[in-house]
Structure 1
Amino acid sequence: MKLKDAVAIVTGSSSGIGAAIARALAEQGCHVVINYSRNDAGARAVATECEALGVRVLVQKANVAEDDDCRALVEATVARFGRLDVLINNAGTTQFCAHENLAGLDKQDFLDLYAVNTIGPFQMTRAAEAALRAQPIAHVINMASIAGLAGVGSSIAYAASKGALLTLTKSLARVLGPQVRVNAVCPGFVQGEWLEKGLGKERYGKILDQTRATAPLNDTATPETVAQIVLGLLIGGDLTTGESLLVDGGAHLNSGVPRR
């Protein structure tokens, strides 16, 4: 699809991967909706960067775990731009808990993570369905994780929620064609503040060094490299749907997959 003058919602785009995706879309001439649930200042800073690239921007607060918020986000987008071509379900959350510590998680932890990581993308896609179907070509991209493929990651609850998101991607791809393509991007270890804060600076540095030393490409993903993969799916993926693309520098090819 052509991104110039298209319209994209990027959930959770006040920082990190979501912000990088929003900027990358704006560089292609795509109008963007910056969504946040708490970080108003971050969202407005990203919006300023995108506007400087010559596109129109809407900043909209919404918690994707709330269906009413999802519907309001899509309605505000269509009211402002008159269309919707791309939905990037990027908003996500986790709880860091060692996998062997089964007592460290309870029912509510799973419910909280599923509400944002799995139910949120479903609710957003459902809210956006009519607007996306109105376009001859539209895309939904779900930000999943290697955790959902390999059962690794920041916690078992996180891995389970991302695994469910991958199944959701296939189901939605099956029912939303032919107008809408639905794919998932699965980053491995992503450099940045989010993981460093969650893992702690020392552990983060060790995993980063280990992954760089052992991955076939001797590097790990950054928010910007993940954003470039998203662009590739949007620009060149009109015949691709229901797929999950792993972005980890080839680290999964080793016998031991680094934990996120």
Structure 2
Amino acid sequence: MLLENKRLLVTGVLTEKSIAWQVARLAQEQGAEVVLTGFGRGLRLTERVAARLPRPTDVLELDVTREDQLDTVVADLEGRWGELDGVLHAVAHAPRAALGGGFLDARWPEVASAMEVSAYSFVALGRAFSPLLARSGGGSVVGLDFDSSVAWHAYDWMGVAKTTLEGCARYLARDLGGQGTRVNLVAAGPLRTAAARAIPGAEAVSDAWPYRAPLGWDVHDGEPVARVVCALFSDWMPAVTGEIVRVDGGAHAVGPSTATSP
């Protein structure tokens, strides 16, 4: 029971294939209380899939770009628990014009949207929930990342947003460290999620990944990523902050291969 008595807020659940859903499921199995968030047209999907968790849980409306909705969720958790042990930021979005080969064509409105949703919202979550986290002794803020050390095919401005996310995580770790809050990112290998399907041409990266990774990689299995997120939520990593933990079968550690199939 790695997370016994922990109280967690999990964003970004849309389907059972979502990394965030796997995190919520595993966290419940490890003893945590979990509340999910959703918004807009996806709220109904989140509510539906929440019922498939080991223990059905509440879903709160939260558009991470809206301060009023952040305030409302903070107030709900204040009344519900009075404190908070962890927050998962599993939110990313870029307009189609900023993906799939549109790097040079995208204009600032599309780029600004990608940056706000995919990077700045991480800071907004940390700022909003920091008082509740402080009451639990500091707690943990975890975000989902994708390796941004190279320029990936089709990823374009989302890749730049992930680079910005990594910078945000370091500065947030610095500023929340004084209250004991740990801030980390988990850089997952490519998975067949709804978010991945929204990136035109993403399969060029994901299809080759299992052959690059020394440990292999199952693009349909998000549990290895969820396990690391739950470990970061736990009390077993008390001195880890400002870190990017790569969960990708080791692909980041080796050079590209000319092989594309076994």
TM-score interval, normalised by the smaller of the two chains? 0.7 to 0.9
1:126 shift after superposition: 0.7
1:105 aligns to what?
Answer: 106
1:142 aligns to what?
Answer: 143
Q: Is 1:29 paired with 2:27?
A: no
Structure 1 unaligned segments of length 5 or more: list them.
none
Q: TM-score, normalised by structure 2?
A: 0.85
| 2:186–2:246 CA contact under 8 A, matched in 1 | yes
Q: What is the aligned-residue RMSD (CA, Å)?
A: 2.3
1:131 aligns to what?
Answer: 132
In 2, the alpha carbon distance for the partners of 1:154 and 1:245 equals: 23
| Deviations 1:232-251, CA, capped at 9 Å, x for gaps | 22222211011001121122
In 1, the alpha carbon distance for the partners of 2:195 and 2:80 equals: 31
What is the correspondence of 1:1-260 to structure 2 with a 5 Å cutoff? 3-15=3-15, 16-37=18-39, 38-50=41-53, 52-53=54-55, 57-95=57-95, 97-99=99-101, 101-146=102-147, 148-152=148-152, 154-178=154-178, 179-199=180-200, 204=203, 207-220=205-218, 222-235=221-234, 236-256=236-256
Q: TM-score, normalised by structure 1?
A: 0.86
| Deviations 1:25-81, CA, capped at 9 Å, x for gaps | 11112111111123223212332233x43xx73211111011222222222122222
In 1, the alpha carbon distance for the partners of 2:159 and 2:51 equals: 34
One-letter amino acid of the counterpart of residue 232, structure 1: A
| 1:191–1:220 CA contact under 8 A, matched in 2 | no
SS in 1 for 2:199: helix
SS in 2 for 1:218: coil
1:228 shift after superposition: 1.1
Change (3 A) 1:133 1:154: farther
One-letter amino acid of the counterpart of residue 45, structure 2: G
| 2:169–2:242 CA contact under 8 A, matched in 1 | yes
In 2, the alpha carbon distance for the partners of 1:156 and 1:199 equals: 11
One-letter amino acid of the counterpart of residue 231, structure 1: C
| 1:8–1:31 CA contact under 8 A, matched in 2 | yes
Higher helix share: 1
Structure 2 unaligned segments of length 5 or more: list them.
258-262
Question: Between Structure 1 and Structure 2, how many residues are aligned?
Answer: 249
The sequence identity of aligned pairs, in percent, is 24
| 1:208–1:220 CA contact under 8 A, matched in 2 | no
In 2, the alpha carbon distance for the partners of 1:46 and 1:84 equals: 23
In 1, the alpha carbon distance for the partners of 2:168 and 2:82 equals: 28
| 2:10–2:37 CA contact under 8 A, matched in 1 | yes
